[in-house]
Amino acid sequence: MSVLNAVPATASVTARNGSATWRLIKAESKLSIRDKVGPLWGVGCPLIVLIILGVVPALREPVEAAGGLTYFDLYVPVLILFNLAILAMTALPTTLAGYRENGVLRRLQTTPIGPARVLTAQLVANFAIALVATILFLAVAGLGFGVDLPRHPVGFVLSWLLASAALLSIGLLITALAPGRGPATAIGTVLFFPMMFFAGLWVPIAQMPEVLQTISHYTPLGAGMQAFQETYLGHFPSAAPLLTLAAYAIGCTIVAVRWFRWE
Q: How far apart are CA 166 and CA 151, in angstroms?
A: 23
CB 19 within 8 Å of CB 113: no
Query: Binding to another protein by residue 179, rule CB under 8 A?
Result: no
Q: Residue 234 CB, nearest distance to another protein (Å)?
A: 44
60/106 with CB nearer another protein: 106
Name 150's Cβ contacts closer than 8 Å, sequence gap at least 6: 156, 228, 231, 232
Nearer to another protein, 49 or 116 (CB): 116
Per residue in 50-80, is it b (16+ CB within 10 Å) or e — as a string?
beebbeeeebeeebeebeebebbbbbbbbbb
Determine if 5 is a binding residue for another protein (CB under 8 A): no
Out of 6, 27, 48, 240, which residue is the one contacting another protein (CB under 8 A)? 27
Site for another protein in 91-130 (CB under 8 A): 95, 98-99, 102-104, 106-107, 109-114
Residues in the interface with another protein (CB under 8 A) total 26
Q: How far is the CB of 27 from another protein (least distance, A)?
A: 5
Taking the complex as a whole, the smallest distance from the CB of residue 111 to another protein amounts, in Å, to 5
Under rule CB under 8 A, residue 16 binds another protein: yes
Q: Which of residues 28-47 bind another protein (CB under 8 A)?
A: 30-31, 34-35
CA angle (30 as vertex; 171, 23 as ends), nearest 5: 95
Nearer to another protein, 114 or 146 (CB): 114
CB 232 to another protein: min, Å: 38
* 134, 159 Cβ separation under 8 angstroms: no
DSSP symbols for 175-222: HHH-SSHHHHHHHHHHHHHHHHHHHTSSS-GGGS-HHHHHHHHHSHHH
Positions in the binding site for another protein (CB under 8 A) = 12-13, 16, 19-20, 23-24, 27, 30-31, 34-35, 95, 98-99, 102-104, 106-107, 109-114
